[in-house]
Amino acid sequence: MTNSATQPILSGFYPDPTICRVGDDYYLSTSSFEYFPGAPIFHSTDLVNWTQQGHILDRRSQFRLGDPRPSTGIYGSTLREHDGIFWFITTNVSDYGAGQVLVQATDPAGPWSDPVFIGEAIGIDPDLCWDENGDCYLSWKAMSFTEGEIGILQARLDASTGKLRDAPYPIWQGSGMGAVEAPHLYRNGSYWYLLLAEGGTERGHCVTAARSLHPSGPFEACPNNPIFTHRSSIDPVQNVGHADLVQTPEGAWAAVYLGVRPRGSTPGFHVLGRETFVAGIDWMGGWPVFDEDRFCVPAVDTAFSDDFSDARLHRRWVVPSGEPESIVSKAPDGGIGLSRLADGSMGLLCARVRDLRWSAETVISGSGSFLLRIDDRNCYGLTVEAGRVSGWVHLGGIHHELGSTEARAETTLRIESAPPLSPPVPLGHGGPDEIVLSVVQEGREHLLGRFDGRYLSTEVASGFTGRMLAIQGSQGQGTFLSMRYTPYTPQT
């Protein structure tokens, strides 16, 4: 067991959590950006043990491809239950002009409905709540990626049609910091509480609160804002914010929120993306107070081994800018082949890296690549082509070959996260880790390259995602026979 202040309940690239409860069951979903299927959904009965049930947006009619660039796709969302129906509302930045995307289901494991598009609400981070009269309120961060921020707007919504029942009006705009976003509204006692994220999703991230007797305001700001932040601290978890509250069956309250675990030389580099944490909530003087130490988080076995023999791919596998079924084909003698996307590029089949130290291997017959990526501009990999294996790094517009060796009929490619050989600044330049690229031949590791892990961090590569392991087809014929991922413990 590990303290909830330092151990995520969902490790790896699972940001912007949103949560709801029905009876003894909790349901949680997160942002997924360009990866499809989108919006993974999890179930728990205790807030610390979570099992993925699938994805909410598992059809392209729900998550239009549109603009396929990295860090587009599914942004912050809200998951709620009302009168026996589960509602999920989100922003698909790849189809930004369509407005907010609203789907519903009677079972959170799916199937979820075709979407209703709310074209009058352009922006990100939509929220839904219902008052005692059954009126549905939509709140969101209105903005344009070209013209800038507008602010937090609200309107009553006809959820069946996606039409607004009011002209959008501003509500509380936060405590005065930048990047005001992620509104969530809750009723507790006689007050409606509005939580916002402020300060940006980087080191200045925080949670602020206001309250009102009506969901549309006017709102009174909490005198202790921000009510939660790690800014200007040496806490091992940073960037905390984007919180969503839930009430337990016993009447207590809890929050899920995002945070990162930076490592290495200044300014610190986080490589797994933004992760999901849990905290307790106390109500003091009529305001929510975070208790990060409330829960004990059990160790989670993140290891997996996949020989691709199942009829359907495991739900860990996702595809950027495409669909698994469009690029994956079963090989007659076992394993899978990967084909091109509609735009002509080679398809990638990806799985999240969940740990700070780990090793991964894939066995390939013929041609193909195995890589660790933040996005298509920032990745390290191994490629089998024309009878040779080469190790390489791709950083921005620079491509550099690290080394090569002869390939076998079946080649085992290994990528590993290892402790840095250099100490941190000022004694050295050590980053969060070093990525080791090698080939395993006759039980022996043949090193092709070792490269600084800082370049596959958000602080360098930018964006909103985290590290992904990926297999990729090539010009020649190739079959991936297996994939194995092994975390190293303890994590440092």
Catalytic residue among 16, 58, 125, 375: 16
Tokens 């981070």, residue?
A: 125
Distance of alpha carbon 355 from alpha carbon 124, whole angstroms: 29
Residue 181 annotated in active site:
yes
How far from chain centre, in Å, is Cα 284? Answer: 32
Q: Assign residue 125 a region: left if phi > 0, alpha if psi is -120 to 50, beta otherwise? A: left
The closest alpha carbon to 88, from 106, 101, 97, belongs to 101
- Helix (H) or strand (E) segment spanning residue 81: strand 74-82
Cβ-in-10-Å burial (0-12, 13-18, 19+) of 251 comes to exposed
User: In this structure, what token pair is assigned to residue 171?
Assistant: 């509500």
Note whether 115 and 101 are within 8 A (CB).
yes
Distance of alpha carbon 63 from alpha carbon 33, whole angstroms: 10
Distance of alpha carbon 146 from alpha carbon 307, whole angstroms: 45
Point out which residues pair with 255 in neighbouring strands.
Answer: 245, 279
Residue 255's alpha-carbon distances to 5, 190, 276, 294, in angstroms, are 12, 20, 10, 11
DSSP annotation string for 29-50: E---BTEESEEEEEEESSSS--
DSSP annotation string for 459-489: HHH-SS---EEEEE--SS-EEEEEEEEEE-S
Distance of alpha carbon 271 from alpha carbon 356, whole angstroms: 8
Distance of alpha carbon 50 from alpha carbon 9, whole angstroms: 7
Distance of alpha carbon 174 from alpha carbon 181, whole angstroms: 9
Catalytic residue among 34, 181, 361, 434: 181
Note whether 392 and 402 are within 8 A (CB).
yes
Residue 291 annotated in active site:
no
DSSP annotation string for 157-201: EETTTTEESS--EE----SS-SS-EEEEEEEETTEEEEEEEES-S
Note whether 448 and 404 are within 8 A (CB).
yes
Note whether 256 and 248 are within 8 A (CB).
no
Note whether 194 and 171 are within 8 A (CB).
yes
Query: What residues act catalytically?
Result: 16, 181
